[in-house]
Amino acid sequence: MKIIVDENISFGFEAFSTIGSVTLMPGRGISNEALKNTDALVVRSITEVNESLLKGTNIKFVGTATIGTDHIDLEYLKKNNITFTSAAGCNSHAVKEYVFNAIFSICVKYNLSLKDKSIGIIGVGNIGSKNTAIAESLGLKVFKNDPPLERLNPSAGYCSLQEALSCDIVTFHVPLNKEGIDKTVHLLNESNIELIKPGAILINSSRGPVVDNEALKKRMNLKKDLYVVLDVWEKEPDFDTELLKLIEYGSPHVAGYSLEGKVNGTVFVYEALCNYCGINPVWSPTYPPVNNHLIKISGNRTLEKTMHTIFTQAYKIEEDDSAMRKITNAKQEDVGKQFDFLRKDYRFRRELNNYRINNFSGLSQLKESLSILRLQLEN
């Protein structure tokens, strides 16, 4: 079996070479010609998999090591009997940690309290449901918006988009649907962006076009009254550098880029391809140890400062923001290249389940939250 794998997929060669002959390629460089004599294709979100890419090739299996599938023409694959798998849920813990890292970083930076605050969670799938759990454990009033799930379970306490957008914190976790009753392109747009109250925290870590970047830039230019965090952008990798200058934190589509999240994506697709081939998986990942895994909390601190200390032991969103802002000095034709480089050269970020708190007895009121975050707790 001949397999082409995006070169930025963690352990891509090690895993898939146990199944067949592997060729690693840049995601944006995978072409129809390269696939002519290839049996399986493993990609990330930057490769558009459609008829123009696959027509006339031998591809019978496509896997994406990502949670989203908007870059995949699923109808074409089905029509041509091409087996498909995604890695839905692979990086949900990483994105959850990114979101709350951003929230607590903003709270500490501006001395904001979460007491009596509300959060609108738009999209309550693998990621949104985890954010719901941690938000409720922290005492936030949660407003969940998810029309497809609401249709399946009307009594589950979902709210309208308008209600979710009116919360103190608004975070998007929806797929990119380009049409239909659940269209999410420009879900936040010029007609409803004024529903977001001044002083609210707005986070998009789903897909760039979910938020109308021009409408957001217009609001921020006129008022600059929101704390905005964008991990995803319209027209990636050629993102709007002027919008970046107006927001609180920006990052290059890496909210889910923990080592565990990326490796989980590889594992999901690898096991699916093994199943397709009728063979038993023989590869499993080996994770390096985590340095500075002990988190020390001292003195009487506010909830916001305590949680900020915990989250920033593993990841500092300011570092990604700083790297992004350096791109604003680049020539416009180089912006996309540098955005892609930040993703390709991204450091290994580890998830909170690798960290330990050794004085948990002083944090007993946070037991539920810390357990949801999968921290190791010791008295």
Residues forming the active site: 207, 236, 253
Count CA atoms within 13 Å of residue 97 on its CB side: 31
Buried-state track 178-198, b at ≥16 Cβ within 10 A, e below 16: eeeeeebbbbbeeeebebbee
User: Which token pair is 150?
Assistant: 């609401």
3-state secondary structure of 158: strand
For residue 143, the cross-strand partners are: 120
3-state secondary structure of 51: helix
Task: Report yes or no: 133 and 372 within 8 Å, Cβ to Cβ.
Answer: yes
The side-by-side arrangement of strands in the sheet containing 294-295 is: 294-295, 356-357, 376-377
- Which single residue is written with the structure tokens 């969670």? 121
Question: How far from each other are the two terminal CA atoms of the chain, in whole angstroms?
Answer: 53
User: Which token pair is 71?
Assistant: 């870059």
29: Cβ contacts below 8 Å, ≥ 6 apart: none
Task: Report yes or no: 210 and 183 within 8 Å, Cβ to Cβ.
Answer: no
CA dist 123 and 92 (Å) reads: 13
Q: What is the DSSP letter of 63?
A: E
H/E stretch holding 22:
strand 21-25
Task: Report yes or no: 312 and 320 within 8 Å, Cβ to Cβ.
Answer: no
For residue 45, the cross-strand partners are: none
